[in-house]
Each structure stands twice: as structure tokens, then as C-alpha cells.
Structure 1
Amino acid sequence: METKHILVTGQVQGVGFRWSTTRLAKQLGITGTVKNLPSGQVAIMASGDPDQLATFIAQLRQGTTPWVVITDLDITDRPAHHFRDFRIII
């Protein structure tokens, strides 16, 4: 299992990005969190096997709803962490 911190930049707030990211993560068996940042970015902590994470990141890059516009994904490795599920942090 691996854990990634993904900082998402673009049109990602107010367009259903957190909700659609949560739905995608659950479909792929990814656990972790997603939250809006005051900067307008979204931070994701995602844990799963390498293939799951690669698929998750590839689908994030494509956008999770028609209104999402991703301009940058900054991905960093983090120590492996097991989350119970995937949830939105308010």
C-alpha cells in the first residue's frame, strides 16, 4: 500500500470536485480524504495499491465532472497510512 498527497490546482471548488473525487475513490477502493483549501486548491490524501493510485490519478487529470478544469497536480509520496474510508473534510 502507498499513500500520496495530491494538491490539485484549477477550477476545482464549487464544481462538485470533492464529491466526484470521493465517488471515484470509493469505486477504485482508495481510502483517504479530500478538502478545499483557502488558496482555491484542493488537497487529497489517497491510500491504495500502486495500480489503484495510478488509475485514480489518471482519472483525476481528466477531470471528474464536466465543470472541473485541472491545471496542475502536485503529487508527493507520504508514509503509508490506512484510512478507514474516503471522506470529505469540511
Structure 2
Amino acid sequence: MASEAASRLRVHGLVQGVGYRYATVLAARKLGITGWVRNRTDGTVEIHAEGEPAALAALLDWAGKGPAHARVERVDAAEAAFEHHDSFEEIATL
């Protein structure tokens, strides 16, 4: 759809080992977003999200909070190229 957008988020803080990726999958699917989430070896979590701009804005807002045990310091967001995913999944660490 022409009205869809893609974003890449990098989440900094205490975001690994606290259920962040699992919670991101649930949040993204609830919002109708496709893409993926993964841990990075530098301790951040990376999210690639594709969907309606309002849904992406809602995910960005959610990412700034995360699940209960996460302590998000900041979220870096940028436009991204479309990867044309059919669902939202957790993928391997990079």
C-alpha cells in the first residue's frame, strides 16, 4: 500500500533478558505491523517495522516504555527500506 511506511528502531537501556523481544512481537502483531525484532551484541534491541504510519507511531511510543522489567534509556528511529514481510517475528541476534 502506498500509505504504508517502514522504520528501523534501536532501543537502548536494560532491554535484553527482560522479555523485550517477546513483548515487541505481541505489540507489533496487535498493531498490524510486519517485520522483525532482534537482540544486537552491543546490548541494544533492533526493530524493523512496516505498516500504517499511525501504527508505527504507536509502536515507537510502546518501544520507549517496553515491558514491565525493561528500563529504556532511549529509542533511535529512522526511515527504512521496505523488506515486505508477511508477519512480525523474532529473528537471530546480530
Q: What TM-score results when the alignment is normalised by the length of structure 1?
A: 0.94
In the TM superposition, residue 41 of structure 1 has moved relative to its aligned partner by 0.4
In the TM superposition, residue 60 of structure 1 has moved relative to its aligned partner by 1.4
Rounded Cα–Cα distance in structure 2 between residues aligned with 1:59 and 1:12: 13
Residue matched to 1:8 = 11
Rounded Cα–Cα distance in structure 2 between residues aligned with 1:89 and 1:9: 18
Asked if the contact 1:10/1:69 (under 8 Å) is kept, the reply is yes
Residue matched to 1:37 = 40
Determine if the alignment matches structure 1 residue 20 to structure 2 residue 16. no
AA partner of residue 82 (structure 1):
H
In the TM superposition, residue 81 of structure 1 has moved relative to its aligned partner by 3.3
CA RMSD of the aligned region, Å? 0.9
* Post-superposition CA distance 1:18-54 (Å, at most 9, x none): 0000000000000001000000001100000100001
Residue matched to 2:50 = 47
Q: Where does the alignment leave 5 or more consecutive residues of structure 2 unmatched?
A: none
Q: How many aligned positions are there? A: 89
Identity of aligned residues (%): 34
Residue matched to 2:76 = 74
Determine if the alignment matches structure 1 residue 87 to structure 2 residue 86. no
Q: What TM-score results when the alignment is normalised by the length of structure 2?
A: 0.90
Rounded Cα–Cα distance in structure 1 between residues aligned with 2:82 and 2:52: 10
Rounded Cα–Cα distance in structure 2 between residues aligned with 1:57 and 1:76: 11
In the TM superposition, residue 59 of structure 1 has moved relative to its aligned partner by 1.3
Asked if the contact 1:2/1:81 (under 8 Å) is kept, the reply is no
